[in-house]
A and B are shown apart, each in its own frame.
Chain A
Amino acid sequence: MAFYFVQFLTGLASAASLFLVASGLSIIFGVTRIVNFAHGAFYMLGAYVAFTLTERLSGALGFWGGIVVAALVVAVVGVIVEMVLLRRIYHAPELFQLLATFGLTLMVEDLVVLIWGPDDLLGRRAPGFKGAVDFFGQNIPTYDLFLIGLSPVVLGVLWLLFQRTRWGVLVRAATQDRDMVAALGVNQKWLFTSVFALGVFLAALGGALQIPRDAVHHALDLRIIVDVFVVVVIGGLGSIIGAFVAAVLVSELNAFGILIFPKISIILVFLVMAVVLIVRPWGLFGKPEAAARRTPGLTVNPWRPLTSNERWLAMAGLAVAAMLPLFAGNYALTVGSEIAIFVIFAASLHFLMSVGGLASFGHAAYFGLGAYGVAFLAKMAGLPMVVSLLVGPLLGLVGAAIFGFFAVQLSGVYFAMLTLAFAQIVWSIAFQWVTVTGGDNGILGVWPEKWAAGPASFYWLSLGVAAIAVAILRVIVFSPFGFALRATRDSLLRSEAIGINGKRVQWTAFVIAGTVAGFAGALFAYLKGSVFPDSLGISLSVDALVMVLLGGVETVSGAVVGAIVFKALNIWLVSQTDLSKLVLGGFVVLIVVAFPKGIVGVLETIRNRRKSSTSESSSKSSLATSRIETAE
C-alpha cells in the first residue's frame, strides 16, 4: 500500500515539472495564438543559465537566487524575441509564427553547445532538499515533495493574477476576443509582450528547477516540447487549471502504467490525447473556439488558375529541371530526386493546409506509411517495383481514411494535435513491432530495379511524379470539389447552408493529401533503399510544415518553392558546416522577417501591387488591403 502511495507522489512530482512549463505555453497560446515551438528552447536555456549561476553562487541563497535570476534572465531574452521578432509577424497568416519559433529553436540548440560545451552538465542538488523521507520503508525524495508543494502554489498565484488583477482581466478578455480588446483601446503590444514574458519565465523556471534531478544538455528542449503541447491540449487551450489536471493525469497514468506495461511511456501521452480529443474535442477544460471573425486564407488576392503564359513558364521550368542530368553529377541528381520527393510531400500538406484550412502536425504518418507499404510489398511479397510504387502508397490512403475520419471532426489546433497523436501512434507501432517492421533498425535493401537504379533515371522518375502530383492537386483546387473545400475552409456555416457536406469534403481532402504523401514516401523508400521509423516522426512532420509556411500558406503552390528552398539549403548546410542548425535557424528567422507571407506569398503580393498600381482599381484594392489589416 505504501508503495502505491509513494508511486502516486512520484507521479505528482513529475506532473509538477510538466505543469510549470505547460502553464506558460498555455498562457502564451491563449492570448497571442502563437504556437510557441521555442518554449522548449526557453526551458533549456533556463536550465543552462541556472546551472551557470548556481555553480558560481554559493549557499542556499545563491542556489535559490540563481534559479529565480535564471528564469528572469531568460524571460528578458523572451521579451527581446517578442519585441524584435514576433511583433513583426502577428499579422502574418495563422501558424506563421510557428516558423519563427522553429527557427529560434534550431539556433538555440547549436548555441548552447557553443556556449556551454558538448558535455552533459550535472547541476547541484538543492540545499535543504538533498535527501529523502522514509515513508513505511519507501523513500520519498524531499525535492519531490518540494515540487509537489510548489505547483499548487504556482497555480494559485496564476489564478489570483488572472482573476484579481486588472492585467489578468485584460488577458482573459484577450484570450476570448482579441479584436474586441483592441477595439476597447487596450494597448495590445504591451499586453502581448507581458504575457509572453510571463510564459517564458514559467518555462525557464521549470527548466531551472530540473537541475537538481536532471543533467543539463542540448536536447532538453525536444524532450519536453511535444509533451508539453500535449498536456496543454489535453487540458484545453488557455486553461491553466486544465493544464494542471492534464499534467497530473498524464504523469500518474505513466507512473502506474509502467508497472503493468513497462514499454508504455513511449506512447502514453499521445494515447491519452487521442482519447481525450475524440471524446472531448476541446480538451478537458477548454471551450469551443469562437467562430473566426475574419475569413482565413485569401481575401486580397483571389486564386486563379495559371494563365497560358504562366503555364508555358511552368513547363519551361520543368524542362530545365529535366535537363539536370545533362550537366550534373550523380550526387546532385540524387539530391534532386530527394528535393522532388519533398516537393510532392510538401505539396500534399499544402493542399490540406491552404485549400482545406486544416493544418496537420502529423503529416509524416502518411509519408511513412507509404514508405513502409512499399517496403512490405517489395521485401516481403517480392513484388516488382512498379507494382509496389503504385500499391504501397495505398497504405497511406488507408491510414489517412481512418485517422482523417476522426481528425476532421475537430478544427484548428485541436485538429493539428490529433493528427500529431495519430502520427505518433503509427510511429510507435513501427518502432515497437520489431518482428514486422524491424523496429528502429528499419527495413533494409529496398533498392530500385535496374531501370530506375541509375541516379538520372530515378531523378526523372521522381521529377515526373512530382510534376504530375502538383498538377493534379492544382486541378483539384480549381475543380468543383476544390471550391467546395475552400467554402468549408472560409465558412463552415455558410457552406453547409448551401448544401455542402463539410465533414465529408474535408475528409476526402484529408485522404487525397494522405495518399499523395504516401506516393512521396514510396519514392523515398526506393531512393534511400531502406525505411526507418524516422520517416513517420515528428521532425519530418515539422519539416513539411516549415516548407509549406516558407513557401506561403495563402498561395496555390507555394509549397513547391518552400520545399525546394528548405530542402536544398538543409542538405547543403549539413554538408558544409557542423553548425547547420544555427545557420538554418537564422535563415528561417530572416525569411520570416523579410517574407512575412512566405516566399511565394510575398512575391505574389508585390506582383499584384505592381499590377494594381497600373490599373484603375488600385485605390480600391489598397483600401481593401488596409481594411483587412486593421481588422486583424
Chain B
Amino acid sequence: MRRSYLLGAGLAIAVVGLANSAMAQSGEIKIGEINSYSLLPAFTEPYRKGWQLAVEEVNAAGGINGKKLVVISKDDGGKPADAQTAANELVSSENVAMLTGTFLSNIGLAVSDFANQKKVFFLAAEPLTDAITWSKGNRYTFRLRPSNYMQAAMLVEEAAKLPAKRWATIAPNYEYGQSAVAVFKKLMSEKRPDIVWVDEQWPPQGKIDAGPVVQAVAAANPEAILNVTFGADLVKLVREGNTRGLFKGRSVVSFLTGEPEYLDPLKDETPEGWIVTGYPWYDIKTPDHDKFLKAYQAKFNDYPRLGSIVGYQTIKAAAAILAKANSTDPEKLIAATEGLSMPSPFGEITFRKIDHQSTLGAYVGKTALKDGKGVMVNSVYRKGTDYLPGDAEVEKLRPKD
C-alpha cells in the first residue's frame, strides 16, 4: 500500500515536471523576480518601473533569441522565510529560468542559499552585504550592485583626504550598518593611522531616537562623522542634527545619501557638503544614460531613482545572460555570466568570474541645496573595478565551490 503511494507520488511529480519543462520550450522565457514591494515601496516602486522598462525594451528588440521575455514578480514582505516561499513557487510552479531581485541583505542571503541548494541561477539585484559574494558566496549567485566594501572604499578615498582626525560613527544596528562601519574603519585606518574613533552610535533600524543620539555624538566632539542611516532614520537624524548644530564645522561622510530615494525627502533641510554615494540623474551626461533617462521619463512621466537603475539593469543583465547562454540550464547560465560584459546606463560593466560581483560602480559627490531641494554636486563616477580587493585576497574571502 505504502509503496504504491510512493510510486504514484513519484509518477505524479514526474508528470508535473515533464509538463512544466515542456511549457518552457514554448515561445517565452520566464524570469522570477522577488522584492520587498510591500515593506519598502519607496525603493521598490521605482525599481519595478525600471525592470518593466527593461522588459519592454528587450521584447521590442526581438526578445531573447526570438523568445519573449516574461518577468513574474513576487513580494517577500521583508521576510526571508516568505522570500523562500516565493522563490520556491517561482522555481517549482512557474518553472522560471532564473531568480532575480531582493533588497535586504538577509533576504538576498536566504534566496542565494536556496539557489545553491536547488541549483538555480540567482542574480541578486540590491543586497549590499559582502557575505553574498564572499564569505557565503556560492556558484549559483551573482550580484549586480556595488557591495558594501566597494562603496566604503569609494568613500574612504575621499574621506582620507579630509584633515579630520577624530571620527564618530552613526549606523543602524543590523548587519548592513555593522559591516559598513567595520569596512570603513578598517580601510580608513589603513590609509590614515593617525585617526581616532571617538564615539559610535547604534540606533535600531527604523526606530532612531534622534535627539539623544545627536546629543551623544556631539558630546564626543568629533571632527568628522560617518553616517550609515538611511530612509526615515536619516530624515530624523538630519532634522535633529540641523537644529542642534551637530553638522556645523564638521565633515560628514554618508553611505547612500545621494540616492534620490533618500535625498529627496530631505527637501530644504538637506545638509550641505556631505560626502556621499548616490545617483545624480540630473547631472549624468553620457549617451548610455541619456538614452535610459529619456525612455524612462517618456514611459513613466517621472524621474528615475537609483532603484530604477538597479531594476532596469538587473533585467537587462538577465536578458544578456540568457541570450549568451541560449539555454536555461543553470550550468550554462553560470558559464555565460562569468566574465560577461554588457552596457549599462553607467557604462560598461562586467560580471567577475572570481567572485560573481558585477563591476557596476557608483557616483561619489557632495550634497548641496538647489532651489529648496537636495542635489549631488561635483559627482564623479567610480568604477567598481577600482574598488575591489586583489584576486589573492578575494580567493581567501570566498569559499571554494
Which chain A residues have a beta carbon within 8 Å of chain B's beta carbons? 3, 6-7, 10-11, 13-14, 109-110, 113, 118-122, 130-132, 138-141, 143-144, 212-215, 217-220, 223, 251, 254-255, 258-259, 262-263, 265-266, 323, 325-332, 334-335, 338, 431-432, 434, 439-442, 444-445, 447, 455-456, 524, 528-530, 532, 534-535, 539, 571, 574-575, 578-581
Whether B211 lies near A444 (C-beta < 8 A) is no
- Which of B9-17, B148-156, B286-294, B363-371 faces chain A? B9-17
With A141-B243, A213-B239, A338-B85 given, is the CB distance from A331 to B92 under 8 Å? Answer: yes
Cβ proximity bits B70-102 to A, threshold 8 Å, 1 near / 0 not: 000011010111101110110011000000000
**Interface check B163, CB cutoff 8 A:** no
Per-residue interface assignment for chain B, residues 252 to 288, with 1 indicating a CB less than 8 Å from any chain A CB and 0 otherwise: 0000000001001111010000000000000000000
Inter-subunit contact A440/B175 (CB<8 Å): yes
Closest to B80 in A: A532
B93 touches A329 (CB 8 A): yes
Known A325-B12, A331-B92, A529-B114: A441·B105 in contact at CB below 8 Å: yes
Name the A residues within 8 Å of B13 (CB-CB): 325, 329-330, 456
B347 within 8 A of A: no
Tell whether, in the assembled complex, residue B209 and residue A266 are in contact, meaning their CB atoms are under 8 Å apart: no
A19 to chain B: closest CB distance in Å?
14
B211 partner, pick from A144, A217, A266, beta carbons under 8 A: A144
B173 and A132 within 8 A (CB): no
Checking A7, A13, A265 against B203 with a beta-carbon cut-off of 8 angstroms, the contacting residue is A265
- A3-B219, A119-B264, A534-B80 known; A141-B212 Cβ under 8 A: no
Task: Identify B209's interface contact among A14, A122, A326, A581, CB under 8 A.
Answer: A14
Q: Which one of B36-44, B56-64, B309-317, B320-328 is at the A interface?
A: B36-44
Partner pick for A574 among B75, B109, B202, CB 8 A cutoff: B75
- Distance A120 CA – B230 CA, assembled complex (angstroms): 11
Task: Tell me the smallest distance from the CB of A229 to a CB of chain B, in Å.
Answer: 14
Q: Are A575 and B86 in contact (CB under 8 A)?
A: yes
Q: A122-B266, A325-B12, A575-B74 are in contact. List 8 more A-B contacts (CB 8 A).
A: A118-B45, A213-B239, A214-B239, A255-B215, A441-B106, A444-B109, A444-B136, A574-B85
Closest to A224 in B: B207
Instruction: Name the residue on B nearest A266 (C-beta).
Output: B204
Q: A215-B235, A441-B109, A532-B106 are in contact. Are A119 and B42 (CB under 8 A)?
A: yes
Q: How far is the CB of B94 from chain A (nearest CB, A)?
A: 9
Number of CB contacts from chain A to chain B under 8 A: 216
Set A3, A118, A434, A535: member contacting B41, Cβ < 8 A: A118
Q: How far is the CB of A110 from chain B (nearest CB, A)?
A: 7
Q: Could you tell me if A442 and B109 are in contact, using CB atoms closer than 8 angstroms?
A: yes
Q: Smallest CB–CB gap between B292 and chain A, Å?
A: 21
Contact indicator per residue, chain B 171-201, by CB within 8 Å of chain A (1) or not (0): 0011100100000000000000000000111
Report the 7 A-B pairs with minimum CB-CB distance, sorted nearest first. A118-B41, A215-B235, A330-B92, A331-B92, A255-B212, A10-B211, A331-B93
Tell whether, in the assembled complex, residue B212 and residue A254 are in contact, meaning their CB atoms are under 8 Å apart. yes
Nearest-neighbour CB distance to chain A for B216, whole angstroms, equals: 6
Contact in complex: B136, A431 (CB < 8 Å): no
Contact with A456, one of B9, B84, B204 (Cβ below 8 angstroms): B9
Do A439 and B178 contact each other (CB < 8 Å), given the known contacts A217-B42, A263-B202, A532-B80? yes
Which residues of B are found within 8 Å of A455, using beta-carbon distances? 92
A441-B109, A529-B113 known; A215 vs B240 contact (CB < 8 Å): no
Question: Which chain B residues lie closer than 8 Å to A444 at the CB level?
Answer: 109-110, 113, 136
- Size of B's binding interface in residues, CB under 8 A: 75
Does B245 touch A at the CB level, under 8 Å? yes
- Which residue of the partner chain, among A131, A258, A326, contacts B5 with CB atoms under 8 Å? A326
On whether the beta carbons of B231 and A574 are closer than 8 Å, the reply is no
Judging by beta carbons under 8 Å apart, are B9 and A326 in contact?
yes
- Min CB distance, A325 to chain B, in Å? 4
Segment 99-149 of B: residues with Cβ below 8 Å from A = 105-106, 109-110, 113-114, 116-117, 129, 131, 136
Contact of B89 among A215, A439, A528, A575 (CB under 8 A): A575
Say whether B27 faces chain A, with CB atoms less than 8 Å apart: no
Q: Could you pull out 26 A-B pairs where Cβ atoms are within 8 angstroms?
A: A14-B211, A14-B212, A109-B38, A113-B41, A120-B42, A120-B232, A138-B215, A138-B218, A214-B232, A215-B235, A251-B209, A255-B215, A262-B199, A262-B201, A265-B203, A266-B207, A325-B5, A326-B9, A434-B178, A439-B178, A441-B105, A445-B116, A455-B92, A524-B81, A575-B85, A575-B89
B213 CB–A CB distance under 8 Å? yes
Cβ contacts under 8 Å, A213 to chain B = 210, 236, 239-240
Check if A326 sits within 8 Å of B8, measured CB to CB: yes
Q: Is the CB of A265 within 8 A of B202?
A: yes
- Cα A595 to Cα B19 in complex, Å, equals 41
For A322, the closest partner residue in chain B by CB is B5
* B206 contacts partner chain A, Cβ-Cβ < 8 Å: yes
Give, as a whole number of angstroms, the nearest-CB distance from B352 to chain A: 22
Q: For the complex, is B299 an interface residue (Cβ under 8 Å from A)?
A: no
With a cutoff of 8 Å between Cβ atoms, the chain A residues found around residue B201 in the complex are 258, 262
Q: Considering residues B110, B201, B206, B215, which has the most beta carbons from chain A within 10 angstroms of its beta carbon?
A: B215
Kindly provide the distance from the CB of B101 to the nearest chain A CB, expressed in whole angstroms. Answer: 14
How many angstroms from the CA of A483 to the CA of B9 in the assembled complex? Answer: 43
A-contacting residues, B207-238, CB 8 Å:
207, 209-213, 215-216, 218-219, 231-232, 235-236
| Chain B residues near A439 (CB-CB < 8 A) | 174-175, 178
Alpha-carbon separation in the docked complex, A530 to B107 (Å): 11
Of the candidates A109, A334, A441, which one forms a contact with B175 in the assembled complex, judged by CB atoms under 8 Å apart? A441
What chain A residues lie within 8 Å of B74 (beta carbons)? Answer: 574-575
User: Within the complex, what minimum Cβ distance (angstroms) separates A123 from chain B?
Assistant: 10
- Interface contact B206-A259, CB-CB below 8 Å: no
Contact of A139 among B37, B45, B131, B245 (CB under 8 A): B245
Q: Is there an interface contact between B212 and A11, defined as CB atoms closer than 8 Å?
A: yes
Q: In the complex the two chains form, is A329's CB within 8 Å of B9's CB?
A: no
- Measured CB to CB, the nearest residue on chain B to A448 is B117
Q: How far is the CA of A581 from the CA of B75 in the complex (A)?
A: 11
How far in angstroms is the closest Cβ of chain B from A258?
6
Q: Hey, which chain B residues are within 8 Å of A580, CB to CB? A: 38, 75, 77
In Å, the complex CA distance between A574 and B37 comes to: 10
CB distance from B212 to the nearest CB of A (A): 4
Which chain A positions have C-beta within 8 A of B175? Answer: 434, 439-441
